[in-house]
Amino acid sequence: MSSFTRRTFLAGAASVFHPITARKGLGYQPATAKATIQADVPVGQIRPELHGHFAEHLGSCIYGGLWVGKNSPIPNINGHRKQAVEYLRAVGIPVLRWPGGCFADDYHWRDGIGPLEKRPRRVNIWWGMYTEDNSFGTHEFIELCRLIEAEPYIAGNVGSGTPQELRDWMEYCNYPSGSTLSDERIANGAKEPFGVRYWGVGNENWGCGGTMTPEEYAGLYRRFSTYLARRQGSFGGIRPYLIACGPNRNDTDWTKRFLETLGPRGARLTHGYAMHFYSNGRSPATKFTVEHLKEQLSSFAELEKGIGQQHAMLRGFDPEGRIDLLIDEWGVWDQITQEDRERYGALWQQITMRSAVAAAMGLNVFHRQADKLGMGNLAQTVNVLHALLLTEGEHCIRTSTYYAFELMKAHRGRTSLRIESDTQDPLGLSMSASRSGSELVVTLVNPNHDRGMSVECQVTGAGLGRASARMLQHADFNACNTFENPDIIVPKNHPVEATARGIKAELPPLAIVTATVAIS
Ligand code: AHR
């Protein structure tokens, strides 16, 4: 079976509406959803990087969000907001992409090193024409990554930069000592090299990264990458993982033309190919309509289809599978209100129960397609788009999406398992399953706002033992954690039943349930 046709088994579990099974007092009509987990049929390893994140110099993501400055009255660690560091460290950020986004192709790394008072002030042309004082630069980014134990991913400037600028940044970061650039890093306070492995060669070069054709970008990619990855050796012995700009959503024309021009020689210097996939929303975050809710959540079926098609094209070009498909920006992008923009900065949106359901559906897609994906970075970590944390002054709260990631953290590093279902309904039960040793982890998501689901999940290929579950749920898709009430949506224990044949759970509307089951 080809990897693409397998998608038909995985899209969403059967969801059959049975009014007569409505239970007293529930206030909604449950439907029965059936699926089978094949515990002895591995799909692939769920790389921890599939739960990655992205932080850009945009709105209040960095300045005022992650970075408050060393002299701030807000508790901080060397300028990094202490509460944010603690929350992010707790949820685990396997990889963090920086400094953009669109910002990356107008960023010159030398602006962000050396004594603060000497760093130039530049205008951020992409996100509001405000002046950027460059107080958060490479050293601060690496320090943040170390504080939260994230692998750094630097997105380089192709749109307005040069191959020399990017290879110098790599030398500055990774060469231990003895060259002028590495000694400059040491003089700037970092004796140990930064060991940065992930390097993006541009961002959205079909758009803000230079408005290029795929042929133009492929030519530039070949030129830039020549100076970044050499067979003869690499800076500090760190073999760089070079990431090429892929399509917007499932743009097959971009991929076809890019790969044709890249050719086999360019392919040898390519390790990741990054697609961006946003789930746009036609309402402001807390004022979603039912129609817009359904429309946005249905986009995850398109994401899954896009992964299948892009991966098939990549494998057609690179049958040995040396180039990974990545999703290095994804998440919900709602209508941003003027009031929110003025109060909190560009691309600030509230994060609701709908956003959490979307995050969990996205992660379920990544798990199911684990054999095809190398990374997935939610956009963006703090105060921008699909954020894990929101800040206002000294306040820093965990959003519903933070808790969705927390609930699904147990899948990281495990083996994704095959799931069978006989429906294609994009709003049917969304699920993923993984195993490691004697434990099975299953995440079930009910994306419906108006009906519960009685989930009957048969498990083949393993015997089941004790089970427990946690749930994140709120019946109102516009509900959210606020600075005044930060605990409106938090996970709690939820009953789950494991029998000899499988798992049974009741999912209220808009519920994310992760069950952990002992297996033999
Ligand atoms: O995440 C916000 C923006 O979305 C990024 O800067 C850009 O890459 C994408 O269009």
Which two three-digit tokens encode residue 442? 């299953």
Which two three-digit tokens encode residue 272? 């990741």
Which two three-digit tokens encode residue 423? 């429906």
Question: Residue 305 burial by CB count (10 A; 0-12/13-18/19+): exposed, middle or buried?
Answer: middle
Which two three-digit tokens encode residue 235? 């800076």
Closest CA to 318 of 272, 366, 377, 367: 272
Spatial separation of the C-alpha atoms in residues 347 and 380, rounded to whole Å: 10
- Find how far residue 38's CA is from the centre of its chain: 26
**Helices and strands of the chain, counted as H and E runs:** 11, 25
Catalytic status, residue 302: no
Please write down the HEC assignment for all residues of 272-331. Answer: EEEEEEEEEEEEEHHHCCHHHHHHHHHHHHHHHHHHHHHHHHHHHHCCCCCCEEEEEEEE
Q: Whose CA is nearest to atom 4 of ligand 1?
A: 101
Instruction: Give the atom of ligand 1 at the shortest distance from the alpha carbon of 204.
Output: 8
Domain boundaries, the chain: 31-45+417-519, 48-412
Please write down the HEC assignment for all residues of 316-376. Answer: HHCCCCCCEEEEEEEEEEEECCHHHHHHHCCCCCCCEHHHHHHHHHHHHHHHHCCCCEEEE
Which of 276, 377, 382, 386 to mutate to test ligand 1, by most ligand atoms within 8 A of the CB atom? 276
- Do the beta carbons of residue 185 and residue 228 sit within 8 Å? no
The sign of the dihedral angle between the CA atoms of 104, 110, 115, 118 is negative
Q: At what angle do helices 82-91 and 138-148 cross, to 10 degrees?
A: 50
State the residue for tokens 């309402």: 283
Q: Per the residue annotation, which of 49, 132, 329, 506 is the catalytic one? A: 329
472 lines ligand 1 (CB under 6 A): no
Ramachandran region, residue 261 (left: φ > 0; alpha: ψ -120 to 50; beta: rest):
alpha
Spatial separation of the C-alpha atoms in residues 221 and 204, rounded to whole Å: 12
* pLDDT tens for the 520 residues of the chain, in order: 233 223 333 333 333 333 333 344 555 557 889 999 999 999 999 999 999 999 999 999 999 999 999 999 999 999 999 999 999 999 999 999 999 999 999 999 999 999 999 999 999 999 999 999 999 999 999 999 999 999 999 999 999 999 999 999 999 999 999 999 999 999 999 999 999 999 999 999 999 999 999 999 999 999 999 999 887 789 999 999 999 999 999 999 999 999 999 999 999 999 999 999 999 999 999 999 999 999 999 999 999 999 999 999 999 999 999 999 999 999 999 999 999 999 999 999 999 999 999 999 999 999 999 999 999 999 999 999 999 999 999 999 999 999 999 999 999 999 999 999 866 799 999 999 999 999 999 999 999 999 999 999 999 999 999 999 999 999 999 999 999 999 999 999 999 999 988 999 999 999 999 999 999 9
CATH number of the domain located at residue range(s) 48-412 in this protein: 3.20.20.80
Opening angle at CA 92, ends 86 and 97, nearest 5? 100
171 lines ligand 1 (CB under 6 A): no
Catalytic status, residue 143: no
Q: Whose CA is nearest to atom 5 of ligand 1?
A: 101
Instruction: Give the atom of ligand 1 at the shortest distance from the alpha carbon of 347.
Output: 2
Closest CA to 447 of 385, 356, 333: 356
The sign of the dihedral angle between the CA atoms of 232, 236, 237, 239 is negative
Spatial separation of the C-alpha atoms in residues 446 and 510, rounded to whole Å: 5
Same fold, 31-45+417-519 and 48-412: no
What are the backbone angles phi and psi of residue 459, rounded to the nearest 5°? Answer: -120, 120
379 lines ligand 1 (CB under 6 A): yes
Closest CA to 253 of 213, 292, 290: 213
Give domain 31-45+417-519's CATH superfamily.
Answer: Golgi alpha-mannosidase II (2.60.40.1180)
Which of 204, 377, 378 to mutate to test ligand 1, by most ligand atoms within 8 A of the CB atom? 204
What spacing in Å lies between the alpha carbon of 459 and ligand 1's midpoint? Answer: 40
